[in-house]
Homo-oligomer: A and B are copies of this chain.
């Protein structure tokens, strides 16, 4: 258990385990190729609520309930709740989970928040400052669009570089010891800012951050891409993934054949390319959460993947910063998962 290199926390091989996970998917995500990996598939993006914000809160709450159920615990067994969402002031996390009555830490790094939450959760668990942490995120297409771009009711036409914010929520129970999914490392990202200003080109804005964090993770751990069965970024989408792969090759991280085989993106695989209105793929704090806790963890359970790096990617814009013409700083935090036997 130690700090490694510039930016990596190493927790040891059998110290931190994800004991259970949950996924609640919105209608678009439930019609995508990973549909059968999700615990709950909603066909109504209001989830029976009167606003999209309350729908997102209800989904987040449901995800926490399911994760606790699967782990065989109740909320009062949780020492600490760590989470995030994309709503200004993290209202989905704080309002959605206000009934839990447990100590809460809100974190925010946009769509990199899942990995930030898991990093802090792992730190607390590995060092004995918490025994059971509930960590999760949510996002909702209609709450996010009206914050970061335009209300969905406007029907604004989008360019092909646009991505669809994922509607969903997911949670994990992180505990000390052995489990199916071990968390072995967390690599904390730094800001990159390549001058992209358009909130419809977030894949391009975030790809350099993902490249940086993956490179740093490999440098800190002395590993190469070959040491991972899969490296998944959070929500670059198909265009951002192409840029990332090119950056990784250009920076000499691995040859093109290895990059093409090992590196993929949650946003690029959560929808069918021919689903309506998904453009270059998925984004949102729940994108990496649904794909990691649904699809990736199932593949690890089935034995197809033993070691996976998830580098969630966050575009750090707000409505105000976009309107004031700011460029979009980006960040990526990575978590290394290993199949525990």
Which A residues, 68 to 111, have Cβ-Cβ distances below 8 Å to chain B? Answer: 79-80, 86-91, 94-95, 97-98, 100-110
Query: Do A89 and B108 have beta carbons less than 8 Å apart?
Result: yes
Query: Do A51 and B190 have beta carbons less than 8 Å apart?
Result: no
Which A residues, 34 to 84, have Cβ-Cβ distances below 8 Å to chain B? Answer: 51, 53-54, 79-80
Which residues of chain B are within 8 angstroms of A275 by Cβ–Cβ distance?
none
* A187-203 to B contact mask, C-beta < 8 Å, 1/0: 01111010000000000
- Identical copies in the complex: 2
Which A residues, 190 to 233, have Cβ-Cβ distances below 8 Å to chain B? Answer: 190-191, 193
Query: Do B316 and A80 have beta carbons less than 8 Å apart?
Result: no
- 22 A–B pairs (Cβ distance < 8 Å), ordered by A: A2-B128, A51-B324, A80-B188, A87-B318, A88-B89, A88-B318, A89-B110, A89-B318, A91-B317, A91-B321, A98-B191, A98-B329, A103-B188, A103-B189, A104-B189, A104-B191, A105-B119, A105-B120, A123-B123, A123-B124, A123-B129, A127-B127
- Say yes or no: is A9 at the interface (Cβ < 8 Å to chain B): yes
Query: Do B95 and A105 have beta carbons less than 8 Å apart?
Result: no
14 more contacts with CB within 8 A, not counting A3-B130, A97-B191, A102-B190, are A3-B79, A3-B129, A53-B321, A88-B147, A90-B316, A94-B316, A95-B321, A98-B193, A98-B329, A101-B190, A105-B107, A105-B119, A106-B108, A107-B108
Which A residues, 174 to 198, have Cβ-Cβ distances below 8 Å to chain B? Answer: 188-191, 193
A53-B320, A88-B320, A89-B317 given; A331·B94 CB < 8 A: yes
Which residues of chain B are within 8 angstroms of A94 by Cβ–Cβ distance?
191, 316, 329, 331
Query: Do A95 and B329 have beta carbons less than 8 Å apart?
Result: yes
How far apart are the CA atoms of A159 and B185 in the complex, in Å? 51
* A1-30 to B contact mask, C-beta < 8 Å, 1/0: 011001101000000000000000000000
Which A residues, 290 to 341, have Cβ-Cβ distances below 8 Å to chain B? Answer: 316-321, 324, 326, 329, 331
Query: Do B89 and A321 have beta carbons less than 8 Å apart?
Result: yes
With both beta carbons as reference points, the residue of chain B lying nearest to A7 in the complex is identified as: B103
4 nearest CB pairs, A to B:
A88-B88, A103-B188, A89-B318, A94-B316
A interface size (C-beta, 8 A)? 57
* A122-146 to B contact mask, C-beta < 8 Å, 1/0: 0110011110000000000001000
- Say yes or no: is A235 at the interface (Cβ < 8 Å to chain B): no
Which residues of chain B are within 8 angstroms of A104 by Cβ–Cβ distance?
109, 188-191, 331
How far apart are the CA atoms of A147 and B102 in the complex, in Å? 28
Which A residues, 235 to 263, have Cβ-Cβ distances below 8 Å to chain B? Answer: none
How far apart are the CA atoms of A273 and B54 in the complex, in Å? 39
Which residues of chain B are within 8 angstroms of A129 by Cβ–Cβ distance?
3, 9, 123, 127
With both beta carbons as reference points, the residue of chain B lying nearest to A105 in the complex is identified as: B116
